[in-house]
Amino acid sequence: MSIEYLKKAQLTPKSDASETKKIVRSILDDIEAGGDAAALEYAAKFDKYDGEVLLSPEAIEAAVALVPEKLKADIRFAHTNVKKFAEAQKATLKDIEVEVVPGLIAGQKSIPVHAAGCYVPGGRYSHIASAIMTVTTAKVAGCKHIVACSPPRPGVGIAPAIIYAAHICGADKIMAMGGVQGVAAMTFGLFGLPKANILVGPGNQFVAEAKRMLFGRVGIDMIAGPTDSLVLADGKADPMIVATDLVGQAEHGYNSPVWLVTDDRSLAEEVMRLVPLLIDDLPEVNRDNATAAWRDYAEVILCADREEMAATSDAYAPEHLTVQAEDLDWWLDRLSCYGSLFLGEETTVAFGDKASGTNHVLPTSGAATYTGGLSVHKYMKIVTWQRATKEGSRPVAEATARISRLEGMEGHARTADIRLRKYFPGENFDLSAEE
């Protein structure tokens, strides 16, 4: 049986890429040429903000005082969980060495990058959790300098809860600047900051495009598109929970796809009945996004069995993947393409987004076929080294000389020849290139 679309997306999540590229390229060029002054001009234009760019200790302290104690406790709880998981991830990175051939030792070493730039969205929603996710992982990785950058609100500045989260998670500097100008400031080392070695964190299409353009001169976590989520559900799933989870992710943005893949027609039909009702019950600011996302980008797919469901999910490679079906271990073993996996109705994407410990900066737009999400590992350079005794270098030098000559790289070959002559004088070596 081929899959059946009970609901098919009318659109695909693509921005006006050409116009976005043109705008971002112009801003980046202006700021690189004009430095601090140009960045401030764009901040005044787009952020409508002329306050302190790098927050002073006094400004941080004042913002912290505005955060309710209960919210502080929740932020600390989330930070503890993210830190604990990040520390466990880091423990999987081991420095190693191995004797490749007698006398030749090769090794691997993990070195954190020096400076990390963490972008924290603060437009429609104040992404407190993004500060926790990005700053905490950079701190655990061992980055020596961490900047948290978030767009200020006109006349107000950065949301106090974002400032508190960035501060307790270990940001060395907190910068009140949004969009392309914020990304540029971190990359170019403006306002006395060290130049970022890596840029991480979600953002709108302009932030994503700026990161894409700057990739190469700096590292990035990933090139991100609109957030997306897929639910795998069988006939035993609770349709109200499935529908609620879909709506919860659809509110991210008007072009945020949500997908339901099931082998049970009655479940699919009930979820399709419930979703519009749940969307109508949202506050207006959330309702508009969810309405558009469900209308234009959502899909409901009916499959013959769980194997076809799993294959369909892997083909979509969703950012967030929820399984509400029996035999969770089977799904864990079978599924292979996702950013983060949520097994059983007892957990949900929002848990991972906010407080459970796994990171919410994840691959979108099918990128989960080749990469995972943000982790301690993204901030680490895995480098190699080697050393050898004279005897250990002998077989490697012989092979290197011959391979190099076959490739036509005589200079390479001679770096091996000279060592053989020095270490083993009087010996004859066959170092010619033979087809």
Catalytic residues: 319-320
Nearest 5°: the CA angle 113, 119, 124 is: 165
B/e letters for 59-96, b = 16+ CB within 10 Å, e = fewer, are: bbeebeeebeeeeeeebeebbebbbebbeebbeeeeee
How far apart (Å, rounded) are the C-alpha atoms in residues 97 and 100?
9
CB within 8 A of 173, min separation 6: which ones?
54, 55, 145, 146, 147, 148, 193
CB proximity list for 341: less than 8 A, separation 6 or greater: 321, 322, 323, 332, 335
End-to-end CA distance of the chain: 54
Q: Sheet of 96-101: strands edge to edge?
A: 96-101, 104-112, 380-388
Q: Is 243 exposed, middle or buried (0-12, 13-18, 19+ CB in 10 A)?
A: buried
**CA gap 376, 379 in Å, rounded:** 6
